[in-house]
Amino acid sequence: MAFQSEFINIAIADLSDCAANRKAEGARYVQTLAVNTEAGVDLIYTFMAGDKIDNYKIPAVSKDDVVPSISQDFLAAFVWENEIHDLFGITFEGIAIDFGGAFYDLAVKEPMTVISPAQLAAREKAAKIAAAKAAKEQAQAASAPANADAELEAKLAGMDPEKAAKVRAAMEAKAKKEAAAKAAEKDAEMEAKLAAMDPEKAAKVRAAMEAKAKKEAAAAAQQKEGE
């Protein structure tokens, strides 16, 4: 990048010294801005020397804090400090040209800190979705097979090709057996349910199952022929 920029956290008490130091070095004052967050208002002061932009961030300033003004060192700051006072409600002490809240003639006081009901609803919804996603990811990570598979694949890749083929065949056979076992379990469950059900309904369900089995067999036969 043509210029470098950096974000540095400082405290309210350090602000005056920081501004005085930068002025003594001959740095240029660029701007002051405020960001409304849940914890408070973040203030960012920017200075520039050469091609380096330094952004000093004071996180989470509340309405009760009093921030010292830097307009004695840098007169151009009075515009921003008045604007932040009007739009965000932060109190600055000692602004060189102080408009006392009449800089912008606003209909709503401190509008940038006002969050409309529609916005609140949208934020809560986004927070819920994010929480659900995090929970789902945790649950997935907890299940081991995913990890085990990855490890096995890595081992196979490192092994002798013939041996690898044998191992893979064995793994497939094991998987088929497990699938067959699962299918058998499912069948047993179905039988139990059918026995418990109404005879007519049971007959219908059985017919449907047979049709499905026929279809699956036909599909499997086609696949084998294809191979």
Amino acid at residue number 135:
A
Separation in Å, CA 200 to CA 3, 187, 195, 196, 219: 80, 19, 11, 12, 29
Give me the DSSP letters along 159-215: S-HHHHHHHHHHHHHHHHHHHHHHHHHHHHHHHHHHHHS-HHHHHHHHHHHHHHHHH
Of 19, 22, 56, 78, the one binding another protein (CB under 8 A) is 78
Closest distance of CB 112 from another protein, Å: 6
By CB under 8 A, what part of segment 33-62 binds another protein?
33, 35-37, 44, 46, 51, 53, 55
Candidates 104, 134, 175, 192: give the one binding another protein (CB under 8 A). Answer: 104
Q: Up-side HSE of residue 155: CA atoms within 13 Å toward CB?
A: 10
Please report whether residue 30 would count as binding another protein according to CB under 8 A. Answer: yes
d(CA 94, CA 97): 9
Q: Are 31 and 46 in contact (CB under 8 A)?
A: yes
Pairing of strands 91-93, 66-68: parallel
Tell me which stretch binds another protein (CB under 8 A): 110-118, 137-145, 158-166, 189-197: 110-118
Look up residue 80 and give its amino acid.
W
Amino acid at site 207: A
Q: How far is the CB of 76 from another protein (least distance, A)?
A: 4
Per CB under 8 A, the list member of 9, 62, 91, 119 interacting with another protein is: 119
**Between residue 127 and residue 156, which ones bind another protein under the rule CB under 8 A?**
130
In sequence order, what are the residues at sequence separation of 6 or more whose Cβ sits closer than 8 angstroms to the Cβ of residue 195?
202
Residue 9 touches another protein, criterion: CB under 8 A: no
Q: How many residues bind another protein (CB under 8 A)?
A: 36
16 lies in the site for another protein, by CB under 8 A: no
Pick the closer one to another protein by CB: 133 or 182. Answer: 133
- Nearer Cβ to another protein (127/146): 127
Which residue ranges make up the site for another protein (CB under 8 A)? 1-3, 5, 7, 26, 28-31, 33, 35-37, 44, 46, 51, 53, 55, 74-76, 78-80, 97, 103-106, 111-112, 116, 119, 126, 130
